[in-house]
Amino acid sequence: MFKKSMSRVAAFVLASALVVTSVGFDSAAASKKKIKSLTISTPTTVVVAAGKKLTVKATVKGTKLKKADKKVTFKVVKGKKAAKKAIKVSKKGKITVAKKAKKGLKVTVKVTTKKVAGKTKTKKFTVKVGTPVKTLTAAISDDTIVEKKTATITATVAPAKATVKTVKYSSSDKTIATVSADGVVTGVKAGKATITVKTKGNKKNGKVISQK
């Protein structure tokens, strides 16, 4: 039996075997069509191992959009000559890294929707050659905390030599419990909140997309 003033906080881990994980014009309907959002299945920086492949997917949402309106194009827009030679990105988002690519090479990729009602939306992300995260685990020191008291989350990323090991914390309800950038959870008021731990920039739903 817990006191009414306690806040129960459940910590869930969104594991990432990787950092990652698909926009036409009709004049008659142009005034009604609208792209509201463009999301991609990759974090700000996606790490891909040498000799591996990865496909990034984009999702376009809006009003009265047809299938053709939801198509996007991927294009490398920045990177040194050696990086562009080692990292290839197709128009459909398929990333291929050369077997002998050196760690640290990186390129910037721009995702652009088709023009709808005279407008497009874009997203950018970085592809970096390195060692991807394979597992992410987390444990909280106490999943029931009293208001204004704290508990600490310990997150472990493997392998230890992963290129990007930074994790990010978030709370499903900040009126119940908050969490700091260091994983310290503070109870605000009685109730339940879910604390999510994920590799920085990982897909929100935690879906893991394997490198082949």
The span from the CA of 76 to the CA of 87, in Å, is 9
Nearest alpha carbon to residue 62 among 4, 21, 23: 23
The span from the CA of 116 to the CA of 113, in Å, is 8
pLDDT tens for residues 97-141? 999 999 999 999 999 999 999 999 999 999 999 998 888 888 998
The span from the CA of 140 to the CA of 157, in Å, is 15
Q: Is the pLDDT of residue 4 over 80?
A: no
The three-class DSSP label of residue 74 is strand
Which pLDDT does position 99 carry in this prediction? 96
Which pLDDT does position 188 carry in this prediction? 93
The span from the CA of 54 to the CA of 117, in Å, is 32
The conformation of residue 71, written as its DSSP 8-state character, comes to -
Which pLDDT does position 10 carry in this prediction? 43
